Structure 1
Amino acid sequence: MRVALLVLLLASTPAAAAPLDFGDRPARLVAAMAEGRLKARLEACAAKPPRRTLFSIGHRGAPRSFPEHSAEGYRAAARMGAGIVECDVNVTRDGALVCRHADDDLPATTDILLTDLAAKCRRPFAPGRGAECRTSDLTLAEFRSLKGRMTHVVKGAATVEGYMADDGARGALMTHADSIALLAPLGVKFTPELKAERVVGAARQALAGALIDEYRAAGVPPGDVWPQSFQLDDIRYWIAAAPEFARQAVYLDGRYRDGLDPLRPETFHPSMAALKSMGVNIVAPPIWMLLTERDGRIVAAPYAEAAKAAGLKIIAWTLERGGPPGADNWYYRSIPGAAKRPGALYKTLDALAREVGVIGVFSDWAATVSAYANCMELD
């Protein structure tokens, strides 16, 4: 009941006027843990006043209960104590930077199929085939006319309504500049991720520069921004063209797709030392690349040890995603034994903080990480 009330409050109350509130989810997660020192310490913090922490990063806002990259989701993450909130940056047909995880995710994340803009979809809805609708095919005005919804489609559905399986919840879509204007007065900092994978070459460098320029135009200090990309060339561009912002640039490490094994340093190409020599200071892999199991304990994987030895800082993604911890949750794939035990979520988070020494953790529900960081007095 308290979670439902918190969702209503987060959605209806301007975050600038709202006190921080972790809700009851952290306490329920702690209650599910096996008895031990970690559970006892977290329980002892239950009455501790909430505070904002940079350790807690709102992944696309608060998509566990709010439409991703919506004003409502960003406000929710801010109220739950996230010190940093993410905007994934894609681009409209007329060149506006907007917060959207993928160029072609509009059918799953917005109401486009219920509007006249469905006529602009690359592949209109067809029974059993779904639809493909791209942000890059819309003008900014058209994009703004859409409403965000909880991410979901039913593949193979025969009707638009069945395909969307819509719960009716809506959220206001955001431009990148909107996200800055919303979050800055709340004392929340920024981690934009340059997406727009179809933009390449000189056009991509121009887009990377435009992303940084929107922070300059808003008067945001470079120390309040953690620009991210899966493309190492984007990081290197920022190092060369915007060094003051590149100090906190985050290399999102997706090299597991190309054969990197976090247990085998010989597969790290480029090596951690080479990344550091390029000017990279922060790497951000998925949770499973940072952890392994040893004698029933969750410990740092060789990937994490190598990154730390090279002087790289580490951010992890993404807690509270993919369902509860378990062997079938991709984010926990390297710790299948630990993931099956009661309280695995906070055990995992504690291992990331203590064994790996991460500086931050992305979460689909910021309160979970914020409550832990508040208890452990992490910045």
Structure 2
Amino acid sequence: MNRQYAQPATARDVRVIAHRGASHEHPEHTLAAYRQAIDDGADALECDVRLSADGRLVCVHDRRVERTSDGRGVVSAMTYEELAGLDFGGWKGEAHRGAQVLLFEDLLKEALAADRPVGLAVETKHPTRAGGRLEAELVRVLREHGLADGSDGRVEVMSFSRGALVRLNRLAPGLPAVYLIERRLRPARPPFAGHAGPGIDLVRRDPGLVARLKAKGLRVRVWTVDEPEDVELCVRLGVDTLITNRPREVREHLRRL
């Protein structure tokens, strides 16, 4: 059985993870968003990863590119060259026009180059035509940078897909795993996943969920926590980590609590 984790000693001990970067201010999954998040004091950077048609690992949340670019199509059916030709910033405003699709490896290098330790929380997106090749490529890239054994805690893997976490655990059993929860904990959490990640809507509806998860020996991270009242709720409940689009504001609010 996993040991039970104590709740953070103070609000300042709560970790802050930047959701797709500082994505309230900048287009999500862009270098500008992640550089802002680092400047804002985020403990880690959250990203979603998919495979392009030619096997490149790209940071895109949606299955299709319409919402966050000026193009049309399915990410997994487009080559990296095709994706790189799209504008992934203009939808957020004229000042952001021209941002390119972000390779996961470039984000990884950005985090490693920071002047302080900055982690990565990587979500593999499913369902996808890439299937298990997505997790295999992620582990390959992490191994190339000496990060696949999880020994330094810099990289965590996350998914709503139990199967994806099982594949990741087989490929890289040392990586901390986070089982994301949208509505309820079903199917059963993989036993090796030491973190649970419910959404803030679920926590608002069922605040007792946090205590039940902690009673199982799990660390709890909640997404996506942007509003002061939600920050305060999570602190009262003993949540360990907040994922937010507003890392600077959330960090400042935690300091005041």
TM-score by length of 1: 0.59
Q: Is the 8 A contact 1:55 1:369 kept in 2?
A: no
Which residue matches 2:79? 139
Which residue matches 2:235? 353
| Identity level (%) | 27
Aligned counterparts of 1:185 and 1:284: Cα–Cα separation in 2: 28
Which letter maps to 1:210? E
Which residue matches 1:110? 69
SS at match of 1:178: helix
Question: How far 1:269 sits from its partner (Å)?
Answer: 4.0
Q: Which runs of 5+ in 1 are unaligned?
A: 1-41, 43-50, 113-120, 122-132, 153-165, 261-267, 293-299, 321-344
Please tell me whether residue 89 in structure 1 is matched to residue 3 in structure 2: no
SS at match of 1:226: strand
SS at match of 1:291: helix
Please tell me whether residue 362 in structure 1 is matched to residue 243 in structure 2: yes
How many residue pairs align between the two structures? Answer: 241
Which residue matches 1:275? 189
Offset from partner CA, 1:237-264 (integer Å, 9 cap, x none): 222331101xx2111112x2xxx4xxxx
Aligned counterparts of 2:157 and 2:84: Cα–Cα separation in 1: 24
CA RMSD of aligned residues (A): 2.4
Which residue matches 2:179? 251
Which residue matches 2:209? 303
Which residue matches 1:295? none
Aligned counterparts of 1:269 and 1:95: Cα–Cα separation in 2: 31
Aligned counterparts of 2:44 and 2:123: Cα–Cα separation in 1: 13
TM-score by length of 2: 0.84
Q: Is the 8 A contact 2:120 2:154 kept in 1?
A: yes
Aligned counterparts of 2:88 and 2:186: Cα–Cα separation in 1: 39
Which residue matches 1:207? 134
SS at match of 1:147: coil
1:43-58 correspondence to structure 2 within 5 Å: 55-58=15-18
Q: Is the 8 A contact 2:17 2:244 kept in 1?
A: yes
2:108 paired residue among 180, 184, 189: 180
Aligned counterparts of 1:144 and 1:82: Cα–Cα separation in 2: 27
SS at match of 1:107: coil
Change in Cα spacing, 1:195 to 1:269, as seen in structure 2 (3 Å) is closer
Change in Cα spacing, 1:151 to 1:101, as seen in structure 2 (3 Å) is farther
Question: How far 1:81 sits from its partner (Å)?
Answer: 0.6
- Asked which structure has the greater CA Rg, the reply is 1
Aligned counterparts of 1:110 and 1:291: Cα–Cα separation in 2: 32
SS at match of 1:311: coil
Change in Cα spacing, 1:208 to 1:173, as seen in structure 2 (3 Å) is same
In terms of fraction of residues, the more helix-rich structure is 1
Q: Is the 8 A contact 1:54 1:83 kept in 2?
A: no
Change in Cα spacing, 1:183 to 1:172, as seen in structure 2 (3 Å) is farther
Aligned counterparts of 1:184 and 1:54: Cα–Cα separation in 2: 22
Change in Cα spacing, 1:231 to 1:151, as seen in structure 2 (3 Å) is farther
